[in-house]
Amino acid sequence: MKIHSSHLLVSLLLLIFPLSCAASKSSRTCQYDPDSGKPNPLGMRSYITITEEENNTIFTYEQFPSNVAENITLATKRELTLYNTSLDTARVILLQNKNYYSELVGYDDPEGFAPVNEVLTCE
């Protein structure tokens, strides 16, 4: 029996597609919701997103681009990954360890993660 490459591609896509859908349903995300009425403790140009995927939790700190010079901008993105850690546990770990939060944002913040944690909405 001869298998055409197009049939093989379709078969592979059918195998992969359901797996990616299942993985996306199991992930959770927390982020600042501007419609909450609460001010973002990081200001208007920075935010933190927390994503739980495949039993790992990733904290992403991003700053919108700012002008450095004419035709030059600088954007910041830093990620802190807690492997084999649920999202809820990872939030507690960041609350208890201000050094981890400082590593994420790139500066020492005496208040730590608590003010940001209070304004996050999770789905």
- pLDDT 10s digits, 76-87: 999 999 999 999
Average pLDDT, the chain: 84
> 């990954």: which residue's tokens?
81
Whole-number Å distance between alpha carbons of 61 and 80: 9
Query: Does the pLDDT at position 46 exceed 70?
Result: yes
- Give the helix/strand (H/E) hosting 121: strand 120-122
**pLDDT, position 99:** 95
pLDDT at 17 over 50: no
pLDDT band, very low/low/confident/very high, at 35 (cuts 50, 70, 90): confident
Quick one: which of 86, 18, 21 has its CA closest to 51? Answer: 86
62: nearest Cα among 47, 52, 44, 41 = 47
The strand ranges marked E within the chain are: 28-32, 46-53, 56-69, 72-82, 120-122
Determine the average pLDDT of the residues in 58-70: 95
Q: Which residue has the higher pLDDT, 23 or 104?
A: 104
Tokens describing residue 36? 């909450």
Q: For residues 116 and 95, what is the distance between their CA atoms, to the nearest angstrom?
A: 10
Give helix 98-105 / helix 87-96 axis angle, nearest 10°: 100
Cα–Cα distance between 45 and 57 in angstroms, integer? 23
pLDDT at residue number 89: 97
